[in-house]
């Protein structure tokens, strides 16, 4: 077993890692190519940075490529994102032309990898239209949707549905996100890497030294939200909640965020957030570089209350990250947050700033309950949302797609006295 897999064994146990290796056996050498739209910023990049080394450690020939575009392309794909999450956005013919043209312009660069890959996994809508240029593709192409598409704006979904229908399968994070499509749909929620800088254990001294340059008030409990500046993350609602809670309970709110290369709306949203904060000394807006993983780790460990008050959320890795650090999360009652925040057990689900304020005060005042819920939260992540489970899901999906027409797929069969996967 490689060092990397040995390290994971310490977290998830030998039984799961052995099962994973066994499942990977028939996939050894398979060429798997992931394509998304950015290497930095946002949950997809966060996952892929860790997913690739893991797949490679299991013997897969895994690659990660990024579609390259310019302003109009990202404007269009951000509109797709907003529309899939339910906003009534009109997308012009020019924007769609920029989307399609950008996908075509990436073909020459990506063709050597994609044309003969055994599996291509396209993440979200940005690179989805590449499939038009590969009518003779060899492998199975899978569309991986990370977005909350439970109630998409219909005209935009209709456009994307035609493209997605060309794929051999799709993967969604939740059953509510599944859509009418002419191919198998799989459910696989994302996961975090427990060994990464973002999620590894930190001593109290390490936390203190990470936070020292931020000049936070050592006397005040931290209420934290870590997010891109995006209206679906509702940072203005978080400010409102902290203000309401702060009237009766001293606290400092930390909004930690950065941009994603493929998100053209971040700057405007940041200005709105700064205006809402209005120079309040108990509201700190931290603009962090994309590699500030240990700082975020330290913030999540130092926080007394972690919020993720999203209005729509595909999954919400920030929720998982905080829960893994033993924090109950006050989360928006939506999408992937519902999968993680079991109301009153691993955190609280809220719909309004007032609700978030009420739960914030409760957690700030009830240390025992906070710690008890934090333990439940951490165990829940351990059992459901760590990287080995996601890798295992992907292997199962690949095997299912290769063996699709068979009535019976034996994931572990004995052959010549040796257990194999067929």
Binding residues (CB under 6 A) for ligand UDP: these are 42-43, 46, 198, 226-228, 256-258, 288, 296, 315-318, 321
What's the closest the beta carbon of residue 200 comes to ligand UDP, in angstroms? 13
Smallest distance, Å, CB 110 to ligand UDP? Answer: 23
**42 vs 125, beta carbon nearer ligand UDP:** 42
Please, what is the minimum distance in Å from the beta carbon of residue 417 to ligand UDP?
A: 45
Pick 257 or 328: Cβ nearer ligand UDP: 257
Nearer to ligand UDP, 125 or 257 (CB): 257
Burial class (CB within 10 angstroms; exposed 0-12, middle 13-18, buried 19+) of 258: buried
Nearest distance from C-beta of residue 400 to ligand UDP, angstroms: 26
- Among 293, 295, 348, CA closest to 319: 348
For the bound state, the minimum distance from the C-beta of residue 392 to ligand UDP, rounded and expressed in Å, comes to: 20
- Cα–Cα distance between 248 and 202 in angstroms, integer? 32
Which residues is 32 bridged to in the sheet? 62, 119
Rounded CA-CA distance 190/177 in Å is 14
Question: Residue 356 Cβ, how far from ligand UDP at the closest point, in Å?
Answer: 17
- We find the least distance from the C-beta atom of residue 46 to ligand UDP, in angstroms, to be 4
Closer residue to ligand UDP, CB minimum distance, 63 or 81: 81
Q: Which is nearer to ligand UDP, 314 or 355 (CB)?
A: 314
Q: Which is nearer to ligand UDP, 117 or 256 (CB)?
A: 256
Instruction: In angstroms, give the least distance from the CB of 388 to ligand UDP.
Output: 18
Nearest residue to ligand UDP, by Cβ distance, number only: 43
CB of 251 to ligand UDP, least distance (A): 21
- In this structure, are strands 222-226 and 305-308 parallel, antiparallel, or unpaired? parallel
Decide whether 79 or 140 has the Cβ nearer to ligand UDP. Answer: 79
3-class secondary structure per residue, 348-378 = EEECCHHHHHHHHHHHHHCHHHHHHHHHHHH
By CB atoms closer than 10 A (0-12, 13-18, 19+), residue 88 is: exposed
Backbone angles phi and psi of 312, in degrees to 5: -145, 145
Q: Where are the alpha helices (DSSP H) in 165-260?
A: 204-211, 235-248
Minimum CB–partner distance for residue 299 and ligand UDP (Å): 10
Residue 198 CA, distance from chain mean position: 13
Sign of the Cα pseudo-torsion (336, 199, 81, 143, in order): negative
296 or 373: CB nearest ligand UDP? 296
Q: Using alpha carbons, select from 298, 356, 290 the residue that is nearest to residue 329.
A: 356
**What residues contact residue 265 under an 8 Å CB cut-off, 6+ apart?**
78, 230, 231
For 258, the 3-state DSSP assignment is coil
Which of 321, 301, 318, 309 lies closest to 357 in space, CA to CA?
A: 309
Least distance CB 22 / ligand UDP (angstroms)? 30
Whether the CA torsion 267, 270, 274, 276 is positive or negative: it is positive
What is the token pair recorded at 217?
A: 């008030």
Report the residue number, 42 or 139, with the smaller CB distance to ligand UDP. 42
**Mutual orientation of helices 387-402 and 3-12 as an angle, nearest 10°?**
110
CB 277 within 8 A of CB 240: no
Taking the least distance from each CB to ligand UDP, the nearer of 286 and 402 is 286
Please tell me the distance from the alpha carbon of residue 218 to that of residue 222, in angstroms, as a whole number: 9
Tell me the two tokens of residue 304.
Answer: 């007394």
**Residue 342, token pair as written in the block:** 């079991």
Q: Compare residues 211 and 421 and give the one whose CB is closer to ligand UDP.
A: 211
> Which string of DSSP letters, residue by residue, matches 160-173?
HHHHHTTSSEEEES
């Amino acid at each position: 077993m490689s060092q990397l897999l040995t390290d994971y064994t310490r977290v998830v146990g030998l039984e799961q890692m052995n099962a994973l290796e066994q499942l990977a056996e028939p996939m050894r050498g398979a060429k798997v190519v992931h394509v998304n739209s950015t290497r930095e910023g946002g949950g997809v990049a966060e996952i892929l940075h860790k997913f690739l080394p893991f797949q490679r450690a299991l013997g897969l020939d895994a690659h990660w490529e990024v579609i390259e575009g310019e302003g109009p392309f990202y404007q269009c794909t951000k509109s797709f994102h907003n529309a899939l999450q339910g906003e009534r956005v009109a997308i012009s013919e020019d924007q769609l032309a920029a989307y399609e043209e950008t996908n075509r312009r990436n073909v020459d660069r990506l063709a050597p990898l994609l044309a003969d890959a055994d599996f291509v996994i396209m993440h979200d809508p940005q690179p989805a239209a590449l499939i038009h240029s590969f009518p003779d593709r060899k492998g199975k192409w899978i569309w991986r949707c990370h977005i909350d598409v439970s109630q998409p704006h219909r005209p935009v979904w209709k456009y994307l549905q035609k493209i997605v229908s060309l794929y051999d399968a799709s993967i969604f994070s939740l059953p509510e996100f599944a859509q009418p499509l002419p191919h198998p749909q799989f459910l696989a929620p994302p996961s975090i890497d427990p060994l990464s800088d973002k999620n590894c254990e930190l001593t109290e001294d390490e936390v203190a030294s990470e936070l020292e340059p931020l000049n936070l008030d050592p006397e005040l409990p931290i209420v934290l939200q870590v997010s891109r500046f995006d209206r679906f993350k509702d940072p203005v609602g978080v400010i409102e909640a902290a203000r309401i809670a702060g009237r009766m309970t001293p606290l400092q709110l930390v909004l930690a965020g950065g941009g994603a290369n493929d998100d053209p709306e971040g700057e405007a949203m940041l200005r709105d957030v700064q205006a809402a904060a209005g120079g309040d000394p108990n509201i700190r807006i931290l603009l962090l570089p994309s590699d500030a993983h240990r700082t975020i780790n330290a913030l999540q460990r130092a926080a007394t209350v972690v919020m993720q008050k999203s209005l729509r959320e595909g999954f919400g890795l920030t929720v998982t990250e905080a829960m893994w650090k033993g924090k109950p999360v006050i989360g928006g009652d939506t999408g992937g947050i519902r999968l993680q925040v079991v109301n009153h057990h691993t955190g609280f689900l809220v719909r309004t700033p007032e609700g978030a304020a009420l739960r914030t005060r409760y957690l700030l005042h009830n240390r025992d309950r906070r710690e008890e819920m934090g333990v439940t939260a951490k165990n829940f992540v351990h059992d459901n949302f760590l990287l080995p489970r996601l890798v295992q899901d992907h292997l199962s999906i690949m095997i299912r797609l290769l063996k699709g027409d068979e009535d019976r797929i034996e994931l572990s069969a004995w052959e010549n006295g040796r257990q194999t996967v067929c």
